[in-house]
Amino acid sequence: MSATSHEEAHTGPVKNPKQLLIAVFFSFVIPVFVIIGLVQFVSSSNKTGPGAGNHDMAQAMRIQKIGSVEIRDANRPLRGGEDVYKGQCAACHATGVSGAPKFGDAGAWGPRLAQGFETLVHSALKGKGAMAPQGGGDFNDLEIARGVAFMANAGGGKFDEPQPPAAAAETAEAK
């Protein structure tokens, strides 16, 4: 008996093949994953993505302000329909780009004139078809309406050029 107890004292913790596989797994595979995780942690600094060579510029683009405020002179003289046409509308309506009715073409303007002046102005301000919205740009809504009246009158319309509310009230009182 003393011989068997002496042998048990010198045996290791691994008693069968399953325990050997578990011991190998925990001794070698787990440390490899720990090393890989540590390398990833140490080398994970601010990395630029593909195609982003300038980190400072990319960061500035991400944190730029969303909106802007533009202060304009409210008392500036309003521009007339011809000026608005030349500055905003002529790029497409002079040549008929993307189906835009050409300036002075009564045949193209006829069906549009039948819709009425308010509909034409609404289409100009909000956009229609290939025409982008014109409101909110360099010209205010009244100036865009003046440009619409100028183009429509050249195409056979008989619309009065819109006046500012204060000037319209003064003209009504003078009559």
Q: How far apart are CA 101 and CA 93, in angstroms?
A: 6
Q: How far is CA 145 from the centre of its chain?
A: 27
**Separation in Å, CA 149 to CA 79, 127, 130, 142:** 13, 16, 20, 11
pLDDT digits (tens, 9 = 90+) for 124-175: 888 888 888 877 677 888 888 888 888 888 888 888 888 887 755 555 555 5
Burial 41-77 (b: 16+ CB within 10 A, else e): eeeeeeeeeeeeeeeeeeeeeeeeeeeeeeeeeeeee
pTM above 0.85, yes or no: no
Strand partners, 128: 131
Under 8 Å CB-to-CB from 123, ≥6 apart: which residues? 131
Could you tell me the pLDDT band of residue 33, with boundaries at 50, 70 and 90?
Answer: very high
Strand partners, 154: none
Q: How far apart are CA 132 and CA 135, in angstroms?
A: 9
> Is residue 127 a contact partner of residue 135, using CB atoms and an 8 Å limit?
no
Instruction: State percent of the chain over pLDDT 90.
Output: 4
pLDDT at 4: 56
H helical segments located in 25-132: 30-42, 55-62, 81-84, 90-93, 106-113, 117-126
pLDDT digits (tens, 9 = 90+) for 45-60: 766 565 556 777 777 8
